[in-house]
């Protein structure tokens, strides 16, 4: 796996089986949704459930490839400003080398360059340009920082989103053991000596390194159950920091003529734009996926194209083939304040199962609530940019509860997601000055010689950017560091 030693032998222990061998986009048959497959091997504390609007954190897809088999492909690269609070040395390595390598590995491409081709036409063409130019006018919104053709991991021959399964199984030096759940790391006080799993104990020989690549909360549960704090004082802050992203989702439509597409524009086209913003140190971004279509097409054809090639999903019921429309689905993500000490992940005493005994407590603070209000208002301001009439008459919003298009914006409880996504920061990485950080710049759990970490748990702060590109860049940096 390492950049310097591509022949290093890798044994992958995967709790599930193989479910999909490529990204779900590739399959035309109906598949379960991420919600149907989701596993949440942790609980939410009773006080959070009682007091908070948000009730859960999205879970895992417990099969080889994890969530990469279903992800939407948004792959922004965080800027220096967005990485505020990250160790300088790490930032420099990521920006100089690893972000570029990760973009290449994932096949990240700007939406206006995607080669998806159906019905004799390129899909990301005139509408993509028109949508981006139209939304460029959002730069007048005070907190907006950047407006981009969406960076998406679709830059391959078939414009299918990247998934780890194909890459992992094509590597000769990788062996996978399926249905093998890691339960506890055994150690001698200095290093891991074995891994207790659902298939028995696996010995860890001296020259072997254990890398936790099992997403944020399950990895935190494993570490908390394996390294108790009196013996490992440097790990006493594991789970004492927690961040994630809150989400607002809105779908709007306007007449297709609003974008003045050329006469010879294809009947169905797609677009995707990424808009990032920051206010009082709180980061947010909007990810907008759109479809422009004419009446000539049947609903199935339009929907099949959306299913295969859009970034955000666009529900079939939002496509009305009796009209010439543009439908835009916008998800707006914002960061939870990483300094909020009420947010923690700890073990519970009343559950003896070592893979499910972690409990998450979170309370959105004033900063989080102010940012969420801002995210909602910016979302509607940006959607208004699609309108061509002074009073916004031509703009309609999808109301999920009534399953109807209406001119009024949907109320807050319909657009604010009750789930947090992109849980992070429970075992953040820090330089020598950050004595509280459980992980050092070598990605190793402090005080344990041979256990390393990947994934969102490492993030000092969560920002709002989508996580995969940064996760991959850091995994590459870890490989190089080892």
Residue numbers at the binding site for ligand FAD (CB under 6 A): 13-16, 34, 60, 62, 64, 66-68, 70-74, 181-182, 213-215, 218, 355, 422, 455, 466-468, 471
Distance (Å, whole) CA 82 – CA 87: 13
Question: Least distance from C-beta 434 to ligand FAD, angstroms?
Answer: 22
Copy the structure tokens of residue 353.
């199962």
Nearest to 219 by CA among 345, 343, 337: 345
Contact 195/182 with Cβ under 8 angstroms? Answer: yes
29: CB partners within 8 A, 6+ apart: none
For ligand FAD, the closer of residues 223 and 259 by Cβ is 223
For ligand FAD, the closer of residues 244 and 254 by Cβ is 244
270: CB partners within 8 A, 6+ apart: 116, 123, 124, 127, 128, 289, 290, 291, 292, 305, 306, 309, 310
CB-CB neighbours of 237 under 10 Å = 18
For ligand FAD, the closer of residues 125 and 151 by Cβ is 151
For ligand FAD, the closer of residues 39 and 388 by Cβ is 39
Distance (Å, whole) CA 225 – CA 354: 7
Strands 43-44 and 419-424: unpaired
Please report the sign of the dihedral spanned by the C-alpha atoms of residue 407, residue 413, residue 419, residue 424: positive
For ligand FAD, the closer of residues 64 and 328 by Cβ is 64
Phi, psi of 333 (to 5 degrees): -115, 140
For ligand FAD, the closer of residues 215 and 248 by Cβ is 215
Written as one string, the DSSP assignment of 261-317 is --TT--SEEEEEEEEEEEETTEEEEEEEEEEEE-TTS-HHHHHHHHHHH-SS---GG
| CA 311 to centroid of chain Cα atoms | 12
Question: Least distance from C-beta 223 to ligand FAD, angstroms?
Answer: 11
Question: Least distance from C-beta 233 to ligand FAD, angstroms?
Answer: 25
Question: Least distance from C-beta 274 to ligand FAD, angstroms?
Answer: 10
Question: Least distance from C-beta 256 to ligand FAD, angstroms?
Answer: 26
For ligand FAD, the closer of residues 67 and 308 by Cβ is 67
Question: Least distance from C-beta 238 to ligand FAD, angstroms?
Answer: 16
For ligand FAD, the closer of residues 64 and 415 by Cβ is 64
For ligand FAD, the closer of residues 106 and 292 by Cβ is 106
Question: Least distance from C-beta 323 to ligand FAD, angstroms?
Answer: 29
Question: Least distance from C-beta 213 to ligand FAD, angstroms?
Answer: 5
428: CB partners within 8 A, 6+ apart: 241, 437, 438, 439, 457, 458, 459, 460
For ligand FAD, the closer of residues 276 and 387 by Cβ is 276
Contact 288/275 with Cβ under 8 angstroms? Answer: yes
Question: Least distance from C-beta 255 to ligand FAD, angstroms?
Answer: 29
250: CB partners within 8 A, 6+ apart: 329, 330, 332, 379, 380, 383, 397, 398, 409, 410, 415
Alpha carbon distance, N-terminus to C-terminus of the chain: 10
Question: Least distance from C-beta 98 to ligand FAD, angstroms?
Answer: 15
State which residue has the least CB distance to ligand FAD. 66
For ligand FAD, the closer of residues 132 and 422 by Cβ is 422
Question: Least distance from C-beta 375 to ligand FAD, angstroms?
Answer: 17
Contact 251/329 with Cβ under 8 angstroms? Answer: yes
């Amino acid at each position: 796996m390492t950049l310097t030693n591509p022949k290093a032998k890798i044994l992958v222990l995967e709790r599930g089986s193989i479910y999909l061998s490529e990204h779900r986009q590739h399959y035309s048959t109906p598949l379960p949704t991420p919600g149907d497959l989701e596993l949440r091997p942790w609980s939410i504390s009773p006080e959070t459930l009682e007091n908070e609007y948000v009730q859960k954190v999205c879970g895992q897809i417990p099969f080889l490839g994890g969530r990469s088999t279903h992800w939407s492909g948004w792959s922004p690269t965080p800027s220096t400003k967005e990485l505020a609070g990250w160790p300088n040395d790490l930032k420099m390595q990521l920006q100089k080398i690893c972000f570029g390598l990760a973009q290449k590995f994932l096949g990240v491409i700007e939406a206006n360059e995607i080669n998806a081709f159906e019905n004799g036409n390129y899909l990301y063409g005139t509408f993509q340009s028109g949508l981006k130019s139209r939304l460029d006018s959002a730069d007048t919104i005070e907190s907006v920082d950047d407006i981009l053709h969406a960076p998406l991991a679709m830059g391959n021959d078939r414009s299918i989103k990247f998934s780890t399964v194909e890459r992992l199984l094509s590597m000769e030096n990788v062996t996978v053991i399926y249905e093998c759940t890691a339960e506890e790391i055994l150690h001698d006080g200095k290093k891991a000596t074995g891994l207790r799993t659902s298939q028995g104990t696996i010995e860890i020989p001296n020259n072997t390194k254990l890398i936790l690549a099992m997403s944020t909360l399950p990895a935190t549960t494993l570490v908390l159950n394996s390294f108790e704090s009196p013996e490992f004082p440097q790990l006493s802050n594991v789970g004492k920091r927690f961040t994630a992203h809150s989400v607002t989702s809105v779908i709007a439509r306007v007449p297709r003529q609003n974008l003045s597409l050329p006469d010879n524009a294809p009947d169905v086209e797609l677009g995707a734009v990424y808009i990032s913003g920051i206010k009082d140190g709180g980061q947010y971004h909007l990810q907008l996926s759109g479809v422009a279509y004419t009446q000539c097409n049947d609903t199935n054809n339009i929907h099949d194209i959306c299913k295969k090639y859009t970034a955000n999903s666009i529900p079939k019921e939002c496509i009305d083939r009796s009209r010439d429309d543009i439908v835009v689905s916008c998800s707006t993500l914002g960061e939870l304040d990483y300094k909020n000490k009420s947010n923690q992940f700890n073990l519970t005493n009343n559950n003896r199962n070592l893979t499910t005994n972690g409990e998450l407590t979170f309370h959105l603070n004033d900063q989080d609530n102010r940012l969420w209000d801002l995210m909602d208002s910016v979302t509607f301001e940006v959607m208004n940019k699609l309108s061509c009439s002074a009073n916004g008459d031509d703009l309609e919003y999808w109301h999920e509860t009534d399953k109807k298009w209406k001119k009024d914006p949907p109320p807050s409880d319909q657009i604010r997601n009750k789930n947090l996504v992109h849980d992070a920061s429970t075992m953040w990485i820090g330089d020598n000055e950050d004595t509280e950080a459980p992980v050092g710049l070598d990605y190793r759990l402090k005080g344990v010689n041979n256990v390393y970490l990947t994934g969102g748990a490492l993030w000092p702060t969560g920002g709002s950017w989508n996580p995969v590109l940064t996760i991959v860049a850091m995994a590459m940096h870890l490989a190089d560091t080892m």
